[in-house]
A and B are shown apart, each in its own frame.
Chain A
Amino acid sequence: MPRDSRESATVGWLPSSMAPAVAARLVELGESRSFPAGTVVIREGGPCDSLGLITRGRIALRMQVPGGADRTLITADEGDLYGWSALLSDATATASGVAVVDTQALVFERGRLLDAMAADCALASAIQAWVLAAVARRLQATRLQLLDLYRSGLEP
């Protein structure tokens, strides 16, 4: 199947709006990990103990849909965040994340990240803005998917 746009591979993974100091601090906080194809990175309903930024490859976010089938709702690709539940108090994963190809990610361990954010308001707000942008983009995609579902309901 086709490769992804080479453009996206050259995307600066952190938002350009982010202050260099904050960016540097993030890179230092993160730990680069690689997930061979098939690795289950997070499990639906399980603990979500880290936030990840994909630098290469793809993680499919899957859910059990009625009927027990495992459906991919959306994929997180290069430059996408996953596991943002890690920033929430109960830190429970709402979907499973599976690396569908060999994947590299910059991973932020929950405890470390929250401590760092507690210690550094600038960092905290930058991260929150970053995550919020990612959530907003995801919601937009979901909205379009829903509209499409309803529209297709009209078709014979």
Chain B
Amino acid sequence: MTSPRAQPGFLPRAEFGRLFAALEADGRRIIGPTVAEEAIVYDELHDPAQLPVGMTVETAPGAYRLVPSGRDRAFDYAVGPTSWKRFTHPPLVPLTVSRRDGAGVDVQATAPSAPRLAFLGVRACELQALAIQDRAMRAGPLGDVDHAARRDASLVVAMECAVAAETCFCTSMGTGPEVASGADLVLSELDDGFVVRAASHAGEAILGQLGLAPAAAEQTNAAAEQAREVRRTMGDPVPTVGLPERLRASLDHPRWDVVAERCLACANCTLVCPTCFCTSVSVASDLDGVTGTTERSWDSCFSLGFGRVAGDANFRPKVKDRYRQWLTHKFSTWWDQFGSSGCVGCGRCIAWCPVGIDIREELLVIAPPGVEPGPAPWPAAPMGGRAPDPLPAVLPARHVTVRVGDVVHETADTVSLSLATDDRTLLGAQPGQFVMAELPAFAIPPISISRIRPDGLDLTIRSAGAATAALVALHARDTLSLRGPYGRGWPVGEAAGRDVVIVAGGIGLAPLRPLVDAVLADRPRFGAVRMFLGARTPRDRLFVAEMNALAGRADLEVSEIVDRAGPEWLGRVGVVTQLFDRATWDGSRATAFMCGPERMMQAAAAVLARNGVAPDRTWVTLERNMACGVGTCGHCQVGPFFVCRDGPVFSLAELGSAFGREGL
């Protein structure tokens, strides 16, 4: 956006239709406020008569009432149930169409639809909300094509606030009431008409079209005074200095239990929130599973399914966990993830909470101003409060069809698929990265790469649900579609010149195998290499022949142990930590890499720490939490991180107490 050059003009109320005409002449459909279902909603407008003239709104926690304003202004309200994300990040977006035919599986991304829209009556807080979502939807490795296209195709006509609702607190969040950046045109409504100024080249073009008389000084002053008055009425209900730090340090505050008693976990707050962007992907198919479609729809961290992960475990089972995730995300971890607050102070979540929970009140109790924050549970990361500027470019997702070569049945429920491809991007995968594997009619699970070959990739998959079961059931010469590779892999180089410790539990060995390959390919670069492998039973051991071969080598050690076994098993029985909890090697010379069940990793991490392995040299992978793989769905948040975007590989130093913390 550029600073306005054209003089502010004045548009008489009676001639407001000229703005409609100008916007329509610009080939745009107009979305703006109108009365429906006893509320002021944003919907398509064809005529200024549809504006909520003479109406205003009274809000309170859990209440919203449309009432006459007593004057015939059209924008005499604060914000309503609709937010602009309905048009920039719609509730339902088709993602892919997949087909299985003679040639194999083919997945096509659905082209983004981007109608030319003009948003009329966007408030200062809503402008900031749009900017915040722009950053959130572009924070992943690709960015979201649909959202970007819709934003690029939209023109924003802002409206300075003339009134504040009881639930407004933009002054505290620093997003209003005065319109700052992000608009193309900015209007201020006075009794007899509108002061109009351009805030971008596109805005200037429209303003030029209108050919307005310049606004008189008293008119521009009246407009400014109006905004100042709104600011005065609001005050500063939620002091935000140091709020992110205070909140981050209050994860165990007793108030979380109190609010959970009232909270319905109905998700209304997140759905009316103009910045909340979380989604879930659903699949549909024909009766034969030959053609399938995927689409994403608004979801919420308040729904139980949102925290469900493979094996029906759930990392946010309690309502308390979900409320804490929402509030801490909005006001604290959002800074770490996107470099700004996630709240703009519009107050929608307060008015539209069916039981009137007021976040302002909760914040003041949980993270009261002026109180020194306790120790931080994790270091600030990765944006650390720096909003990206300019926004990163957006790339379309690539769906690559690959063919199954060998199928190795590793255990009763686990197979390794050897996939052939000449796709350079896939072949460029790094150890510890993962791909999204798609078959028509099935959910799309993230699968870690278990071997990177010059001519393809191996995926080792455990059947833990219908989608993975379908993958495990694939035969040689079948095809599937891959996206990726995604994620930050193992920092192999970081271990150069040092001892290497590898701890694997069950299927966790799969993402570690490419690391082992990399180390062995350049063995002299590393010191002693020690592998500690755990499995549930002898029958659950992965890559048995290969591991036995490694065990036969003089230049590395492999010890393994199983949880339980019958008499036929002559190896060790117990837990993986028993393999090294009495070891005498010097952990300070070692870099450790771990993957396995989280409890196993916690126990192993404790033992490694005792042996002197530093937290910043202890690397774990948390891939089990991922859903979309590209940092847009919000499912895999752990404290300040998106696992798919910032990980899946993390050091314990990065994770801090987020590692293994229940309910986070």
- Chain A residues within CB distance 8 Å of chain B: 1-8, 10-11, 58, 60, 62, 69-75, 77, 79, 98, 100-101, 137, 140-141, 144-145, 147-148, 151-152, 154-156
Contact = CB atoms under 8 A, between A and B. Distances in A.
Interface of B: 311-313, 464-465, 530, 536, 547-548, 550-551, 557-560, 563-567, 569-575, 577-585, 597, 599-600, 603
Contacts of B571: 1-2, 75
20 contacts: A2-B547, A3-B559, A5-B579, A7-B583, A7-B585, A58-B570, A71-B565, A72-B564, A73-B564, A73-B573, A74-B573, A75-B571, A100-B570, A137-B578, A140-B603, A144-B577, A148-B563, A148-B599, A155-B311, A155-B312
Given A7-B583, A71-B565, A2 B311 contact: no
Most A-side CB within 10 Å, residue of B530, B560, B563: B563
Contacts of A98: 567
Contacts of B577: 140-141, 144
Contacts of B547: 2
Contacts of B312: 154-156
Contacts of A79: 582
A91 B7 CA distance: 98
Contacts of A3: 551, 559
Contact of B465 (A1, A7, A100, A156): A156
B582 A11 contact: yes
Contacts, number: 105
B564 A2 contact: no
A8 B575 CA distance: 16
A1 B548 contact: yes
B575 A145 contact: yes
A72 B569 contact: yes
B599 A74 contact: no
B359 to A, nearest CB: 33
A6 B567 CA distance: 24
Given A7-B583, A71-B566, A72-B566, A144 B575 contact: yes
Given A72-B567, A154-B312, A8 B582 contact: yes
Contacts of A154: 311-313
A73 B578 CA distance: 14
Given A5-B579, A60-B573, A70 B548 contact: no
A77 B312 CA distance: 36
Contacts of B564: 71-73, 145
Contacts of B557: 5-7
A137 to B, nearest CB: 7
Interface of A is mostly: mixed
A1 B545 CA distance: 9
Contacts of B560: 1-2
Most B-side CB within 10 Å, residue of A10, A58, A141: A141
A58 B572 contact: yes
A141 B567 contact: no
A141 B600 CA distance: 11
Contacts of B548: 1-2
A4 B563 CA distance: 16
Given A144-B577, A156-B312, A4 B566 contact: no
A140 B312 CA distance: 26
A1 B579 CA distance: 15
A100 B566 CA distance: 12
A6 B553 CA distance: 13
Given A72-B566, A154-B313, A156-B465, A148 B536 contact: yes
Contacts of B563: 145, 148
B603 A144 contact: yes
A103 B565 CA distance: 20
B570 A5 contact: no
Given A11-B582, A152-B536, A155-B311, A2 B559 contact: yes
A101 B569 CA distance: 11
Given A72-B567, A77-B578, A156-B465, 18 more contacts: A2-B559, A4-B559, A5-B530, A5-B559, A7-B584, A10-B584, A58-B572, A60-B570, A60-B573, A62-B567, A72-B569, A74-B574, A75-B574, A140-B577, A141-B577, A144-B603, A148-B575, A155-B312
A73 to B, nearest CB: 7
Contacts of B580: 5, 7
B573 A151 contact: no
A152 B563 CA distance: 12
A81 to B, nearest CB: 12
A151 B582 contact: no
A150 to B, nearest CB: 10
B574 A141 contact: yes
A147 to B, nearest CB: 5
A8 B583 CA distance: 6
A7 B584 CA distance: 7
Nearest to B561: A75
A79 to B, nearest CB: 6
Given A1-B570, A72-B569, A141-B578, A151 B597 contact: yes
- 5 closest A-B pairs by beta carbon, nearest first, are A2-B551, A155-B311, A100-B570, A144-B575, A75-B573
A8 B577 CA distance: 13
A155 B564 CA distance: 17
B464 A155 contact: yes
A5 B556 CA distance: 10
Given A147-B599, A151-B313, A5 B583 contact: yes
Contacts of A10: 584
A71 B567 CA distance: 6
Contacts of B582: 8, 11, 79
Most A-side CB within 10 Å, residue of B551, B566, B580, B582: B582
A145 B599 CA distance: 10
A137 B465 contact: no
Contact of B566 (A8, A69, A75): A69
A148 to B, nearest CB: 6
A82 B94 CA distance: 63
B558 A2 contact: yes
Contacts of B313: 151, 154
A42 to B, nearest CB: 16
Given A71-B566, A72-B567, A144-B599, A156 B583 contact: no
Contacts of A147: 599
A151 B599 contact: yes
Contacts of A141: 574-575, 577-578
Contacts of A72: 564-567, 569, 573
A37 to B, nearest CB: 8
Contacts of B600: 144, 148
B463 to A, nearest CB: 9
